[in-house]
Structure formats: structure tokens, C-alpha cells
């Protein structure tokens, strides 16, 4: 087959934005997207929202591109196909149907797959993960056919679990969340902010079981209960597993690509393989602002990386610097995750929150700089915090000021 | 005619066609649609902020961005919540 000038593996927001950006700057060359899911681009980030799961937002609103869009932009979408091997010396990608696709420039925007529990019973009817449109449809059907008072068991403590619990509760299901950790978002939140999230869920009627593991899922064909490590069998009619994501880049590693948590790239999203780039959830890129490699699994970052990778593929030497942002809202909380919010060695936190009030901003510091923040019901601070992170403002000696919830963070810039 | 001149199917964001070049005179966010993806803020930080329910709101400083940036922010909204209006007052996107 003829060499494809721009081959993109992955038809999600990173891959599609890359294709669109390439077309904007190169009107002639062939652009091919290989997509595993049999759909044009849709709004994956909406799949876990209560409005969508409960049908208040009709499914047709999820579509972000239709076949005419691909045709008019001359972007060739081959869906329902999966890349299984890469040979960078031959410069070609092998698909699961046996096709070999030679490329000039390759973008890997292959996303991630939901992590599984690895326990008995995961394949029972009524047990779901929530990553694809087909997963979504399954959960939506299960919720719609459930009767009030039936039991939903949510396993996990991240975004999917948080939003799925909200949808299940709103649908009238008795909703329990099983957490491995002491509280939600434990990779980002320390005790005070974590306790605020716990309180919000429990005061909205969610049963929260922290510090617990899963032994297995029980049922004949359909789920009946979840067996937890402490020995109890908790009845469940619907189970949603949202315990994070894992890499699908084994074929990249086998081809000599550097893969750690994700496919390792430089700041321009270039991998260690010639003319091979990576973007979106699958990429572990060098973040210029943080000065280290990181994986950002959120919609906006994937969109921005798709655009940036396309520009790099076109030879644009400018490396964009952006600050990650994503939000979620449920149980009376409006959360914003800004910058790099991962609690890890060498970082410390500062809390800005009013005692007795349902708001807190947990700042994450590295050395003399702010690297991230989680804002809970304090999102008016977003612009100032973004600037503190982006401009790498030295905050040494200002810790008391930062900790005072009534201090105006704009004071740093005046 | 008018707002739909360049999007004959009335569905410019789904279908084909080149990006609009018309000048933006006003921006609105439909907060019933907004899900707080914050993509608009990442692309045009002077134009958008979040209200206390994580819904995007247009900021007075939106004119600090050029039209291309604002078009990109609007077109990147995953729920088509950002409406752009031309100088004749007619909606030009979506």
C-alpha cells in the first residue's frame, strides 16, 4: 500500500483534533485515522454525567462529528480496527485485520483501557466499566430498567465513581461506593479536603465504605452481590467499576518505544521512535511547566495535545505550554483540578478553607512554586491560581498569606 | 441567508464547510448545556471563567482574544454551549 503521509491511531478527541489541525495547515496530503470503536467522534467526557446517563441529555447530543464532516475534510476514518504492531524501521503499522499501513508521520492517540479488578465474577451481567459508548449504553439500560430501591455498587474513588454514584443516586437506586482508600480522589486530596468530599456524599445518602477491597463478584449469570475482603457479602443489582486506567501501548513497547505509565514523549509530543508522536491519555509527556514527565487523562488536555502533536508533525518548532484543568460537580460540590495535582514525594500541601464552610482550596507546592490546586467550591480563585502556576511565581515566605482563605490571591500580581 | 449562509444544513459543527471568518460581536454561554469541561478556559482564559456551579461564564475581557482563538474555543466546546453572534446580531455559531 502507498505510504500514508499522516497516519493517526485513535479516533478520540486527541486523534480527531490532530487530524483537523493537520488538514487546516495541509490541504493536500492524505490523513488517515484508525479507530477501534465503530463510531465517529463523540463526547466521551459526557458518558459519566448524570444528565447523560439518566437520558436528560439525549444520546444524539454526544456526537461531535458526522460522516459528512470526515468526508468534507478528506479525513479517512477506518473504524472498528485496532493497531496490533508497529515496525518503525519499515515505518508501518499492522492492524488486527492483517493490513499493513506504511506511514510518513505517525500519531499514537490510542487512549487507555479501564483497569479491571482481576477478581472472580467480573464478567457477570450487570457488571460494567465506563469507558466507551457501548459501556455507557449498557449502564443506561441497566439504570432505566432498575426499580426504585434496587442496589447499585460503585467500586472506585475517582471521577467515574464520583459521577456514576451521582447518577445512580438520582435515579433512585440505593447507592454504595466501595473505596480502596480512606476517601475519594486520594491521589490528589489529603485528609481535610477528602473529608469534605466524604461528607458531601454521605449527606446525599450515599453509603461510603472506605479502606475496603473486593474479593469477588457473586451471582449465577447476573450479579447478585459483591464479596468484600472483610468477609461480608453486600447485595448488588448493578456494579460499576471505576478504578482507573491502564496502558494499551504494549505493541509500542515491543516496537522499541519507551513506555512507562504511558508512551514517553518530549515536550513536543515526539516519542523516541523516528517520526512517531503520541498525544492524549496514552502519552506520558514532558511538561515544561512542571519540569517532569506526566500523564494527563482528561478531555481538554487530550484536545490540546492533539493540536500540539499535529503542529509538531507539521514541523512547527514552537512547544506550547498549558496548564491542565478539569472539573466535576455533584453532591453540592464544584471541584476543579488545576495543574498537576498528584501527591507525590517532595511535594507539600497548603489548605485555604473557611472553618465550618463547605469550601477549601488545597494547594500543592513543590519547592518554592505552586504546581497544582484542587478547588472545592472556591473556583473564583481559578484565574489567579492558574497564573501563579503558569508564571512559576516564587511563593517562599508567603505561606501564611496563601493559607488564609480571606486573602486575595491577586495580591501576588499587583 | 443571514446566520446560516455558510452552513446550509444548519448544522455547521457537525457537517462540512470551512471555519467561519465572520467577525464576532457577542458571545453567550448556554449554562443549561455547559458541563464545565473548561476547554474554553484553557483556550481563551480572558474570555471565560467558571461560576460557582462550574458553568462557564463570559468575561468582560473577551475582546483581548482574536477572533480565531474565540472561534476555536467555541468549536472546541464538547456540548456546543458557546454561541457566537455577528455584528448584525445574528447567531453565527453553532
Residue by residue, pLDDT tens for chain A (414 residues) are 789 999 999 999 999 999 999 999 999 999 999 999 999 999 999 999 999 999 999 999 999 999 999 999 999 999 999 999 999 999 999 999 999 999 999 999 999 999 999 999 999 999 999 999 999 999 999 999 998 889 999 999 999 999 999 999 999 999 999 999 999 999 999 999 999 999 999 999 999 999 999 999 999 999 999 999 999 999 999 999 999 999 999 999 999 999 999 999 999 999 999 999 999 999 999 999 888 999 999 999 999 999 999 999 999 988 888 899 999 999 999 999 999 999 999 999 999 988 777 899 999 999 999 999 999 999 999 999 999 999 999 999 999 999 999 999 988 887
Residues of A with CB under 8 A from a CB of B: 13, 17, 24, 43, 45-46, 49, 51, 61, 63-66, 68-69, 71-73, 299-300, 303-304, 322-323, 325-329, 334-336, 377, 379-380, 382-383, 386
Determine the distance in angstroms separating the CA of A236 from the nearest CA of chain B, rounded to an integer.
Answer: 30
Residue A167, SS3 per DSSP: helix
pTM: 0.93
Interface test with A, best of B19, B41, B72 (most A CBs within 10 A): B41
Q: What is the pLDDT of residue A223?
A: 97
Q: Which of B15, B37, B42 sits opposite A304 (nearest CB)?
A: B42
Question: How many CB atoms lie under 10 A from the CB of residue A177?
Answer: 28
Cα separation, A389 vs A187, whole angstroms: 19
In 3D space, the residue among A106, A91, A110, A108 whose CA is nearest the CA of residue A6 turns out to be A106
Sequence-separated (6 or more) residues with CB below 8 Å from residue B93: B12, B13, B20, B71, B74, B75, B82, B83, B84
Give pLDDT, residue B17: 39
C-alpha cell of residue A379 = 473556583
Question: Is B50 an interface residue toward A (CB < 8 Å)?
Answer: yes
pLDDT of residue B8: 27
ipTM above 0.90, yes or no: yes
The separation between CA A227 and the C-alpha centre of its own chain, rounded to angstroms, equals 28
Report residue A100 as a C-alpha cell: 499493513
Percent of chain B exceeding pLDDT 90 equals 76
Has residue B4 got a pLDDT over 50?
no
CA dihedral (A12, A117, A217, A158) positive or negative: negative
Q: At B21, is the pLDDT very low, low, confident or very high (cuts 50, 70, 90)?
A: low
**Radius of gyration (Cα) for chain B, nearest Å?**
13
Domain ranges of chain B: 2-15+22-93
**CA-based torsion, A137, A138, A139, A144: positive or negative:** positive
Tell me whether residue A147 is exposed, middle or buried, using C-beta atoms within 10 angstroms of its C-beta: 0 to 12, 13 to 18, 19 or more. exposed
Going A225 to A147 to A329 to A284, the CA torsion angle's sign is positive
Contacts of A73 in chain B (CB under 8 A): 16
Select from B26, B36, B39, B30 the least CA-distant residue to B89.
B26
B2-15+22-93, what's its fold? Alpha-Beta Plaits (3.30.70)
Q: Compute the distance between CA of residue B69 and CA of residue A337 in angstroms, rounded to an integer.
A: 23
pLDDT of residue A354: 80
Domains of chain A: 4-113+246-313 (3.50.50.60), 116-241 (3.50.50.60), 332-412 (3.30.390.30)
Gap between the terminal Cα atoms of chain A: 61
Q: How confident is the model at residue B65 (pLDDT cuts 50, 70, 90)?
A: very high
Mutation choice for A interface testing from B46, B49, B79 by most A CBs within 10 A: B79
Residue to mutate among A14, A289, A325, with most B CBs inside 10 A, is A325
Is B57 in the A-facing interface, judged by CB distances under 8 Å? no
pLDDT at B20: 56
Amino acid at each position: 500500500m502507498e505510504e500514508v503521509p499522516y497516519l493517526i491511531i485513535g479516533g478520540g478527541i486527541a486523534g480527531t483534533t490532530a487530524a483537523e489541525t493537520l488538514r487546516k495547515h495541509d490541504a493536500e496530503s492524505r490523513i488517515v485515522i484508525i479507530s477501534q470503536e465503530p463510531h465517529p467522534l463523540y463526547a466521551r467526557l459526557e458518558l459519566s454525567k448524570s444528565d447523560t446517563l439518566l437520558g436528560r441529555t439525549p444520546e444524539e447530543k454526544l456526537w461531535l462529528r458526522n460522516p459528512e464532516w470526515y468526508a468534507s475534510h478528506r479525513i479517512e476514518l477506518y473504524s472498528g480496527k485496532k493497531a496490533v504492531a508497529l515496525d518503525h524501521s519499515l515505518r508501518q503499522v499492522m492492524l488486527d485485520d492483517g493490513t499493513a499501513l506504511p506511514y510518513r508521520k505517525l500519531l499514537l492517540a490510542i487512549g487507555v483501557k479501564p483497569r479491571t479488578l482481576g477478581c472472580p465474577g467480573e464478567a457477570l451481567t450487570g457488571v460494567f466499566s465506563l469507558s466507551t459508548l457501548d459501556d455507557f449504553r449498557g449502564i443506561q439500560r441497566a439504570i432505566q430498567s432498575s426499580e426504585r430501591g434496587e442496589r447499585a455498587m460503585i467500586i472506585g474513588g475517582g471521577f467515574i465513581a464520583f459521577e456514576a454514584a451521582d447518577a445512580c443516586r438520582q435515579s433512585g437506586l440505593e447507592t454504595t461506593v466501595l473505596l480502596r482508600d480512606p476517601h475519594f480522589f486520594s491521589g490528589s486530596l489529603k485528609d481535610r479536603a477528602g473529608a469534605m468530599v466524604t461528607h458531601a456524599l454521605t449527606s446525599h445518602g450515599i453509603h461510603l465504605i472506605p479502606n475496603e477491597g473486593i474479593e469477588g463478584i457473586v451471582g449465577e449469570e447476573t450479579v447478585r452481590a459483591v464479596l468484600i475482603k472483610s468477609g461480608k457479602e453486600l447485595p448488588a443489582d448493578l456494579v460499576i467499576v471505576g478504578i482507573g486506567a491502564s496502558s494499551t501501548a504494549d505493541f509500542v513497547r515491543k516496537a522499541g518505544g519507551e513506555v512507562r505509565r504511558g508512551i514517553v514523549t518530549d515536550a513536543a509530543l515526539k516519542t523516541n521512535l523516528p517520526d512517531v508522536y503520541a498525544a492524549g491519555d496514552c502519552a506520558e509527556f514532558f511538561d515544561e511547566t512542571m519540569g517532569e514527565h506526566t500523564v494527563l487523562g482528561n478531555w481538554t488536555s487530550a484536545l490540546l495535545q492533539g493540536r500540539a502533536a499535529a503542529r509538531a508533525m507539521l514541523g512547527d518548532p514552537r512547544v506550547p505550554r498549558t496548564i491542565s484543568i478539569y472539573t466535576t460537580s455533584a453532591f453540592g460540590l464544584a471541584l476543579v483540578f488545576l495543574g498537576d495535582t498528584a501527591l507525590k514525594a517532595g511535594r507539600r500541601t497548603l489548605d485555604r478553607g473557611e472553618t465550618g464552610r463547605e469550601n477549601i482550596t488545597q494547594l500543592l507546592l513543590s519547592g518554592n512554586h505552586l504546581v497544582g490546586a484542587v478547588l472545592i467550591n472556591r473556583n473564583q480563585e481559578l484565574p489567579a491560581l492558574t497564573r501563579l502556576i503558569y508564571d512559576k511565581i516564587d511563593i517562599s515566605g508567603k505561606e501564611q498569606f496563601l493559607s488564609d482563605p480571606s486573602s486575595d490571591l491577586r495580591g501576588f500580581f499587583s | 441567508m443571514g446566520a446560516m449562509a455558510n452552513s446550509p444544513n444548519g448544522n455547521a459543527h457537525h457537517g462540512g464547510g470551512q471555519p467561519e471568518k465572520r467577525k464576532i460581536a457577542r458571545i453567550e454561554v448556554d449554562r443549561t448545556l455547559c458541563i464545565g469541561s473548561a476547554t474554553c478556559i484553557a483556550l481563551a482564559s480572558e474570555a471565560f471563567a467558571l461560576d460557582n456551579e462550574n458553568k462557564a461564564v463570559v468575561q468582560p475581557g473577551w475582546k483581548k482574544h482574536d477572533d480565531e482563538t474565540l472561534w476555536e474555543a467555541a468549536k472546541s466546546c464538547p456540548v456546543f454551549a458557546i454561541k457566537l453572534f455577528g455584528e448584525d446580531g445574528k447567531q453565527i455559531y453553532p
